[in-house]
Amino acid sequence: MAFERDVVIVGGGGRVGLPLGIAFAMRGLSVTLYDINAAVVAKVNEGQLPFAEDGAAEPLAAAVKQGTLVASTDPTCVKDAEHVVIIVGTPVDDHLNPDLSVVPRAVEQLAPQLRPGQLLVLRSTVHPGVTALTEKTLAGLGLHVDVAFCPERIAEGHAMTELFDLPQIVAGRTDGASDRAEKLFRHLTGSVVRVTPEEAELAKLFTNTWRYIKFATANQFWMMANDAGVDFTRVRQAITQDYPRAADLPMPGFAAGPCLFKDTMQLAAFNRNNFVLGHSAMLINEGLPFYLLSKVEQRFDLGELTVGVLGMAFKGGSDDIRESLAFKLRKLLQVKAREVLCCDPYVKDSRLVPQEKVLKESDLLIIGAPHKAYRDLKAAQPIVDIWGIRGEGVLV
């Protein structure tokens, strides 16, 4: 059966879908980005990025100009493509339980647009069993399409290199589905790892949870050293210098963003909430702003001070504030300090003020996100830097 386009990406205007679409277009495929956000779709069709992503601006503009990449709010565009990539994550609710119905519900909504012979690829992180649930949903609707789970593995800001450099995990229930998914992603990378859907679902969750636990370990170590009056930077240097078995020990800092915490809780739910290590990591990482505030309170009379928070993104070099713990720190400081001023060179948000105002009016500065611009920042006020990006230690 002939199709007009090679790939349609559902949720294609987001931070996972758009880089993927650009990457496919760079390799000669015709790509449609389907997204319900009309403002984002309009901006993409003008050849402009709706968010920051290194190395994506020029190939996006080129692909739009050539017509190999278009964006649309019309769901009927789904029926035009051989490969339908769905980027709909499984969120957790207020009780940290995953909503397993999100992906099947999205598939049901797309059902009128799906055609026999298509390959449906689930791309975002899903709770174990969601691929099977999606297959069951399609079967119940009488739709004969192949299904594969091919999780994204990129880090924000590095998508345009990692999409090509990292191995792609491919998981289909049948050899035919896996073969088709492998052929699709070999346009991007020569390294493909084939597993079952259940293995791939756990592989993705294990990966993000492992990172979250590593960050919690570093944060707990920092707290222990800090309470003892020892600079963790020097301890870490002693551990890692020319010692490869400890090379992956991170520096302390806020472990946030839209994935790591959520996926750790999904893994806990999968294991009937019997995940002591994951829950401990959550308490450490989510409790870091409280600990930092308590140490700052011991050194400064916050009630008499205006505190400036430098950087509100969830990580350095990003304009993404989703689940950023810098905002939790801001909320805590608003209770304790005379005034709180926040800024970020990448983030557009009505709650932020220009950096010049923060530097001029603050009595104390706290680095909330480790942007490179803060490494050599000249300021008369004390600067609290738990990230260690200024090279002055992390003792608070």
Q: What is the pLDDT of residues 50-73, one digit of tens each?
A: 999 999 999 999 999 999 999 999
Residue of higher predicted confidence among 100 and 371: 371
Q: Are residues 313 and 237 in the same domain?
A: yes
pLDDT in tens, 20-39: 999 999 999 999 999 999 99
Q: Are residues 181 and 238 in the same domain?
A: no
pLDDT of residue 93: 79
DSSP string, 31-62: EEEE-S-HHHHHHHHTT--SS--TT-HHHHHH
Q: For position 118, which CATH number holds?
A: 3.40.50.720
> What residues does 119 pair with on adjacent strands?
83, 146
Is position 241 within any domain? yes
Q: What is the mean pLDDT of residues 205-216?
A: 98
Q: What's the predicted TM-score (pTM) here?
A: 0.94
Q: Are residues 233 and 373 in the same domain?
A: yes
Rg (the chain; Cα; Å): 23
Q: Given a cut of 80, is residue 288 above it in pLDDT?
A: yes
Q: Are residues 150 and 266 in the same domain?
A: no
Q: Are residues 163 and 42 in the same domain?
A: yes
Is 239 buried (19+), middle (13-18) or exposed (0-12) by CB count in 10 A?
A: middle
Is position 64 within any domain? yes
| Helix ranges, 186-321 (H) | 197-227, 232-240, 260-270, 276-299
Q: Are residues 351 and 314 in the same domain?
A: yes
φ, ψ of residue 168 to 5 degrees: the values are -105, 125
Is position 394 within any domain? no
Task: Give the domain range for residue 93.
Answer: 5-195
Is position 206 within any domain? no
Q: How far apart, in whole angstroms, are the C-alpha atoms of residue 291 and residue 224?
A: 11
Count of domains for the chain: 2
Q: Are residues 230 and 190 in the same domain?
A: no
Q: Please report, in angstroms and rounded to a whole number, the separation of the first and last CA atoms in the chain.
A: 65
Q: How far apart, in whole angstroms, are the C-alpha atoms of residue 194 and residue 169?
A: 6
Q: Are residues 175 and 242 in the same domain?
A: no
Sign of the dihedral through C-alpha 222, 224, 230, 235: negative
